Amino acid sequence: MIDFDVSKVELAIKRAIEAVGGKDFEDVANLAKKVGQAVEKKIGNEIPNVEAIQDMVEQVLVKEGHDTVAKAYILYRQKRSESRAQESVVVEVGKTMDEYLDQSDWRVNANSNQ
C-alpha cells in the first residue's frame, strides 16, 4: 500500500506524453485530477496500491481520448514493474550475502560441519 500522490500521476502522464513525441502538457493536471477522483470513488478511504492507481491512469487516458498516450503509459508501467522486480532480486542477493558473511544463515553452519 502507498499514499496517493497526484503529482506522481502527473509526472507519469507527462512522461507518457513525451514518449509519443507530445509537447502539449496543458491537460496533464486535469487528467491527474480525474485519476484522483476515480481512485477516490473506487477505493474510498483505503490507501490504494500502485496497480490500482496505474489501472485508473490507463482508464482515464483511454476515456479522455488519449489512446496513444495510454499505450505509451502501459509500456512505461511494464518497464517500471520489471525494474521493481529486478531491484527486489538485487536486494535479496545482497541480503543473502550479508547473512552469509555474518554467518547468520543456518546453511553456512550446516556446510561447515560436513
- Say how many domains are in the chain: 1
Residue 1 is assigned to a structural domain of this protein: no
Convert the pLDDT of each residue in 81-97 to its tens digit.
888 777 776 667 667 76
Residue 97 is assigned to a structural domain of this protein: yes
User: Where on the phi/psi map is residue 103: left (φ > 0), alpha (ψ -120 to 50), or beta?
Assistant: left
- Pick 98 or 48 by higher pLDDT: 48
**Choice among 31-35, 40-44, 50-54, 70-74 with the minimum mean pLDDT:** 40-44
Mean pLDDT of 30-47: 87
Largest CA distance in the chain: 68
Residue 31 is assigned to a structural domain of this protein: yes
> Which residue, among 35, 37, 43, has the nearest Cα to 14 in the 3D structure?
35
Q: pLDDT class for 1, splitting at 50, 70, 90?
A: very low
Report how far residue 94's alpha carbon sits from residue 19's, in angstroms, rounded to the nearest whole number.
Answer: 33
Report how far residue 59's alpha carbon sits from residue 87's, in angstroms, rounded to the nearest whole number.
Answer: 28
Mean pLDDT of the chain: 82
Mean pLDDT of 30-37: 94
What does the angle CA 15 – CA 24 – CA 75 come to, to the nearest 5 degrees?
Answer: 30
The set of residues, in sequence order, having a beta carbon less than 8 Å from that of 28 and lying 6+ positions away, is 10, 13, 14, 17
- Pick 91 or 68 by higher pLDDT: 68
Q: How many other CB atoms sit within 10 Å of the CB of residue 96?
A: 12
Whether the per-residue pLDDT at 40 is higher than 80: the answer is: yes
Residue 52 is assigned to a structural domain of this protein: yes
Domain range spanning residue 13? 6-112
**Is this structure's pTM higher than 0.75?**
no
